[in-house]
Amino acid sequence: MLHAIIERSRRIVFFGGAGVSTASGIPDFRSDGGLYRRRFGDLTPEMILSQSFFYLHPEALFDFYRSYMLHPEARPNAAHRALYELEKRDKLRGIVTQNIDGLHKAAGNRRVYEIHGSVHENYCMDCNAFYPMEKILRSQGIPRCDRCGGVIKPWVVLYGEAPDKYTCMGACREISNCDTLIVAGTSLSVEPAASFLGYFHGKNLVVINREPTPADDKATLVIRGAVEEVMAE
């Protein structure tokens, strides 16, 4: 059924979340094995990964970030690879991802909208110098710019921060122009990302997720399973 929808579609957009990368060894937030089931002292991951925590306790935020958000060993899985094949066949118009792991770009996809940013882009808050993820991994405490000593901030959208306007505009444009939208590996509980689905006016809304999602009711097809297996097939 999904195969038939893909064959009939000319403009597919894939909208994904943390579940797309669990098979690459990166835990999601809200599943049983996810980070939100754990507490870190008195704090929750949402409290730590927030804009106010970044300004109040940058050292603690960077310790958490290095330990739990950076996965230098992670490689694209079968879901990422299948999406690369669909882009090569000119079926896939774009990927809108809430993930910050950069795995869609690592798989070769070019039209990727990383609406929550990427761990691979880090900038000095004072002089804007660019740094790769390795700079953050190799540093201790607050990472500092080699050029000016400023704080290096990952281009990752923290709770309380607004996502990049142009990335979001591009993502919404792709969603409003596609004929098939595949929503996968996301609980659809983070805003404004989840509300982007409201721009969809195409024919087929496909949901692939292990657990029920708020989009299931509106979907043409709901597949309850592992996105890496479904997409590979």
Active site residues: 116
Query: Which residue in the set 38, 39, 56, 127 belongs to the binding site for Zn ion (CB under 5 A)?
Result: 127
Site for ligand NAD in 118-177 (CB under 6 A): none
Binding residue count for ligand NAD, defined by CB under 6 A: 28
The nearer residue to Zn ion, 149 or 225, going by C-beta atoms, is 149
Is residue 21 a contact partner of residue 101, using CB atoms and an 8 Å limit? yes
First CA to last CA across the chain, in angstroms? 11
Residue 204 touches ligand NAD, criterion: CB under 6 A: no
String of contacts with Zn ion for each residue 40-79, x by CB under 5 A: ----------------------------------------
64 within 8 A of 38, measured Cβ to Cβ: no
CB distance 22 to 29 below 8 Å? no
Pairwise CA distance, residues 76 & 14, whole Å: 16
As given in the structure block, the two tokens for residue 188 are: 């659809």
**Helices then strands (H, E): number in the chain?**
9, 9
Q: Does 34 bind ligand NAD (CB under 6 A)?
A: yes
Residues 6+ apart with CB under 8 A from 113: 94, 95, 96, 97, 167, 168, 170, 171, 174
**Residue 116, interface with ligand NAD (CB under 6 A)?**
yes
Is the Cβ of residue 133 or residue 226 nearer to Zn ion in the bound state?
133
Near ligand NAD by CB under 6 A, which window of 88-96, 124-132, 165-173, 205-213? 205-213
**Least distance from Zn ion to the Cβ atom of residue 69, Å:** 22
Stretch that binds ligand NAD, among 58-66, 85-93, 166-174, 183-191 (CB under 6 A): 183-191
CB of residue 101 vs ligand NAD: minimum separation in angstroms? Answer: 4
**100, exposed or middle or buried, with CB in 10 Å at 0-12, 13-18, 19+?**
buried
- Return d(Cα 47, Cα 32) in angstroms, integer: 19
> What's the closest the beta carbon of residue 89 comes to ligand NAD, in angstroms?
23
- Choices 6-14, 95-103, 123-131, 163-171; region in contact with ligand NAD by CB under 6 A: 95-103
Distance between CA atoms of residues 113 and 49, nearest Å: 21
Q: Which two tokens stand for residue 199?
A: 């721009």
124 binds Zn ion (CB under 5 A): yes
User: What is the DSSP code (8-state) at residue 203?
Assistant: S
Q: Which position among 75, 110, 147, 224 is part of the footprint of Zn ion (CB under 5 A)?
A: 147
Q: Could you identify the residue written with the tokens 């990166």? A: 26
* Residues that bind ligand NAD in the complex, under the rule CB under 6 A: 17-19, 21-23, 26, 28-31, 34, 98-101, 116, 185-187, 189-190, 209-211, 226-228
